[in-house]
Structure 1
Amino acid sequence: QNFSFGNIEKFSTGSLVVRLINDMNQVTNMIMTIFMQVFRVPLILVGAFILGIITVPRLWWLEVLMVVLIMGITAIIFKKMGSLFDKVQNLMDKINTQAKENLQGVRVVKSFNQEGQEINKFNQTSDTLNNVNLKIGYLFSTVIPSFELIAYVIIAAAIYLIGGSILEHPSDIAVISSYVTYIMQLLYAIMIGSFVMSIFARGGVSLKRIKEVLETQPDVVFKDDAPVEELDGDVEFDNVTFAYPDADKPILKNISFKVKSGEMVGIVGATGSGKSSLAQLLPRLYDPTEGTVRIGGHDLRDVNEKSLRDTVSYVLQRAILFSGTIASNLRQGKADATNYELERASQIAQAQEFISRYKDTFD
């Protein structure tokens, strides 16, 4: 809620939604896995390793070799999977953004007969996401067979090295059986560990993306210690230059004018000439790159947020309705508005007629 328009545009609304829902779920799964497996896996791993060495001390190196080989394969595979998990989340951002844009701009898409093009763009992104997920699935499918192959080779080597003494010492059969059991327990612990690592790899990517949002400082910061006072007087733009983040050139350059209190001013210009950008500087949705915007002689950067919001109203080109009742939407501007004030506002906005058609009117 503290982000400026510039912060939101940096991430995009679609990306923020994915980070809020999908990435949070991934981090939650990672935390739950930690609590479930943090003691279990190490205990099984260490216990099986020690019991194996106690059972056949001279074959300690086989267990070490098995662990080293499996850990090496795990590191290689999950290093590749980590970059793929990052791609998955970025592609989910893109899909979410495309879906949102097409739903919001459905009239434009249909008016220009662009349904086929937009479907192809969405399909391309969706196919790319599917291919990346298939690569992750392929890599993960090689993990368990690789672990089992190494374990079986180790077991075969142990049987070969111990088996020669079975005729002289028949009790060694029980030793081999116990050793194989501990090797399989070791394998079981490592397999669970690999599953945990896959969740960590994905959760780590999501955690990084969430931290990126949390650690981003708002572009527009109000002074908390600024006094709350009624702003009144002239509106002045003093040599204002403004450029959007990552833009090659400013949309507004060296703009200076003064509107006296009580005057009504219309700003006209071609599409993309900066009319909306100019208007967005007044409620401080953005800060100018250079220059100063003042109301009543006060620099907006030195004004309390409540004072500015109580003084400046901003009507968007596109109407936005939040979920809820008509009354709850009207009270976005004044939370404690009375029913009389709601009716008065709807009359001024010439909305009273269609509101009265509903059985519950404002509710």
Structure 2
Amino acid sequence: MLKLFKGLKPYWTLVIGVLVLVFISTLTDLELPDLMSDIVDTGIVQGDVSYILGRGGVMLLVALLGTVCTILTSYLSSKIGMGFSRDLRKKVFEKVESFSLTEINEMGTASLITRTTNDINQVQMVVIMMMRMMLSAPIMIVGALIMALRKDVELSKVILVVIPIIIVTIAIIAKFTLPMFQKMQNKIDKLNLVVRENLTGIRVIRVFNKVEAEQERFNQASLEVSRIATMANRLMGALMPLMMLILNLSIIAVIWFGGIRINDGDLMVGDLMAFIQYLTQVMFSLLMLTMMFVLIPRAQASAVRINEVLEMESPIQEPKEAIQPQLKGYVEFKNVSFGYEGAEEYAISNISFVAKPGEVTAIIGGTGSGKSSILNMIPRFYDAAKGEVLVDGVNVRDMNQQELRSKIGYVPQKAMLFTGTIRDNILYGKEDATDEEVRHALDIAQATDFVSKMKEGIESPISQGGTNVSGGQKQRLSIARAIVRKPEIYLFDDSFSALDFKTDAQLRAALKKETKDSTVIIVAQRVSTVMDATRILVMDEGHIVGMGTHEELLQTNEIYQQIVESQLKKGEEE
């Protein structure tokens, strides 16, 4: 957690302000029992009313000063804690944004969400409490001990005996609870995963009548969180009654021995009253520290998880000196092999081909043959295990990632739209695109027809995940987003699957004119989508088993023939 506290540097002036206020507030708290002692031993014993009123007035002023300092401390500590957590969330989010798909898959989306929200909230709470309590408690303990020693050295031995007992008790309980809080955060990850899967897969769950099964899965995950939390909180909850028991026993001991010393004439009544208050201040300061120890184990577990994100290094790094490309729109694979994390075999092996501007390169093959893996290598979502991926004649490892991706118009396999309007989603491809460019992109993507029928046209709202438009409409809007960018390279990852054959044909005809100066790479399942391509790569089990035009492959490649035979009627083949 100390590593995370480096993020408090921008707030050092506020931290100093809190320290000063806490110090003043603690001094006022320590002064009040001493003033009360004077009132009892001098004012009441001697019957001096003016002395009582004078010292009473001083007590009111001291109490008022302490109250003002406490309020300001709460304000500044909240400001520090909220600013710290905001900065930390920004760091974690930016770090996650820099991850390749490998790191995101390794940690899991649900876990990353928990770490960015729940875990940071735990650390934020500790920072705020630390500003308010952890700074004042040690000062109060030391100050109260000094004041108690001033009142009576012999009675102070009670405090010196009690403190080690409390420290040992806290340490034993914390030792057992820290691992529990780590487990609890992991269980919260699992709970978030179940909730996320249920919300995103609600249609599938309902259509297969699995609502009750999913409710049971959620209940099980929730029960695991509750069970771990209950065990941890039971242990931590035992601290408070233990502390109160020790406090009450200590007060009894002080009154017992204090009464003897008063009887012997070694101690005044007011001093005993003040001593009991100093004892109470020491004990309550230890209680405050105990409350911190209730929070610290969980925050420590959260801090470890946050640091895992911040310290994780992605294998995909920016080159020290980016090479400037000399070509435009060229894509080349040289003996490329790639495997996913934990897989025993490569997803693609020894892939070599060239795609040039003005050409359409299509990739076809069975499910799991490695088609999408090839496309993911070009924008450097993953790095090749072997071989080279070249864009404009430069290895993608030697290019600035932002510059590389600015050359690419990418349409993913699963169309993704964002909350906002249709116009906002198209502008995702090019922020400064004019309305004319947006409408042109919609025309090419064959989306104008359904967009014009919507009540607000291009200003029509898109709900989260694009749930208020159909699958085919989402695909066409995703294609329009890529088109408006006017990139050097177009990557279509099975982006026409939700379109009917007529719309598919119209879209490809319009695209052909729009992309005549660009490199186009299409992954598709339909033969009708790829048959007009300049070259077709036939994939099977991660290897290129055929390359050529539609006519050439019909004559020479058995796998392609089987694909054609399964999809097209004889009349369409001819």
TM-score exceeds 0.5:
yes
Query: What whole-Å deviation, never above 9, does each CA across 1:12-46 have from its counterpart, x for those lacking one?
Result: 22222222222222222222222223442123211
Q: Which amino acid aligns with 2:352?
A: F
Query: What whole-Å deviation, never above 9, does each CA across 1:146-192 have from its counterpart, x for those lacking one?
Result: 01212223333344445445555496655544433322221111111
- 2:284 matched to 1:188? yes
Match of 1:119 among 215, 229, 237: 215
Q: 1:3 to 1:357 in 2, by over 3 A?
A: same
Match of 1:101 among 197, 201, 209: 197
Please give the alpha-carbon distance, in whole angstroms, between the structure 2 residues aligned to 1:95 and 1:337.
42
- 2:292 matched to 1:199? no
Question: In structure 2, what is the equivalent of residue 299 of structure 1?
Answer: 395
- 2:145 matched to 1:49? yes
- The answer to whether the 8 A contact 2:348-2:374 is kept is no
Question: In structure 2, what is the equivalent of residue 342 of structure 1?
Answer: 438
TM alignment of 1:1-363, pairs within 5 A: 1-164=97-260, 167-169=263-265, 174-223=270-319, 225-229=321-325, 231-232=327-328, 235-245=331-341, 247-261=342-356, 262-270=359-367, 272-363=368-459
Q: Which amino acid aligns with 1:226?
A: A
Q: 1:23 to 1:169 in 2, by over 3 A?
A: same
Report the RMSD for the aligned CA atoms in angstroms.
2.5
Please give the alpha-carbon distance, in whole angstroms, between the structure 1 residues aligned to 2:364 and 2:140.
73
What is the Cα deviation at residue 284 of structure 1?
Answer: 1.0
Query: What whole-Å deviation, never above 9, does each CA across 1:55-99 have from its counterpart, x for those lacking one?
Result: 331243321221101111111112322222222222222222222
Q: 1:289 to 1:114 in 2, by over 3 A?
A: farther
- The answer to whether the 8 A contact 2:183-2:228 is kept is yes
Question: In structure 1, what is the equivalent of residue 79 of structure 2?
Answer: none
More helix, by proportion: 2
What is the Cα deviation at residue 233 of structure 1?
Answer: 5.9
Q: 1:41 to 1:24 in 2, by over 3 A?
A: same
What is the Cα deviation at residue 5 of structure 1?
Answer: 1.0
Please give the alpha-carbon distance, in whole angstroms, between the structure 2 residues aligned to 1:187 and 1:154.
9
Please give the alpha-carbon distance, in whole angstroms, between the structure 1 residues aligned to 2:264 and 2:406.
96
> Moved runs in structure 1, 4+ residues, more than 6 A?
none
Q: Which amino acid aligns with 2:167?
A: M
Query: What whole-Å deviation, never above 9, does each CA across 1:196-220 have from its counterpart, x for those lacking one?
Result: 2323333333233222212222231
Of structures 1 and 2, the larger Rg is shown by 2
What is the Cα deviation at residue 139 of structure 1?
Answer: 1.7
Identity rate of aligned residues, in percent?
Answer: 32
- Is the deviation greater in 118-127 or in 216-225? 216-225
TM-score of the pair, normalised by structure 1: 0.89
- The answer to whether the 8 A contact 2:103-2:314 is kept is yes
Please give the alpha-carbon distance, in whole angstroms, between the structure 2 residues aligned to 1:311 and 1:230.
13
Q: Which amino acid aligns with 2:300?
A: G
Please give the alpha-carbon distance, in whole angstroms, between the structure 2 residues aligned to 1:47 and 1:90.
41
Q: Which amino acid aligns with 2:291?
A: F
Please give the alpha-carbon distance, in whole angstroms, between the structure 1 residues aligned to 2:293 and 2:144.
20
- The answer to whether the 8 A contact 2:258-2:267 is kept is no
Query: What whole-Å deviation, never above 9, does each CA across 1:274-327 have from its counterpart, x for those lacking one?
Result: 332232112210001222222344222122324422333322121211111111
Q: 1:30 to 1:352 in 2, by over 3 A?
A: same
Instruction: Give the match's secondary structure for 2:388.
Output: strand
- The answer to whether the 8 A contact 2:389-2:396 is kept is yes
Please give the alpha-carbon distance, in whole angstroms, between the structure 2 residues aligned to 1:359 and 1:331.
20
Q: 1:284 to 1:173 in 2, by over 3 A?
A: same
What is the Cα deviation at residue 106 of structure 1?
Answer: 2.5
Q: Show structure 1 runs of 5+ residues with no match.
A: none
Query: What whole-Å deviation, never above 9, does each CA across 1:205-258 have from its counterpart, x for those lacking one?
Result: 32332222122222312336324446546533333222222x141342532221
More relative contact order, 1 or 2 (CA 8 Å, 6+ apart)? 1
Q: 1:56 to 1:362 in 2, by over 3 A?
A: same
User: Paired residues, what number?
Assistant: 361
Q: 1:5 to 1:172 in 2, by over 3 A?
A: same
Q: Which amino acid aligns with 2:347?
A: L
Q: Show structure 2 runs of 5+ residues with no match.
A: 1-96, 460-574
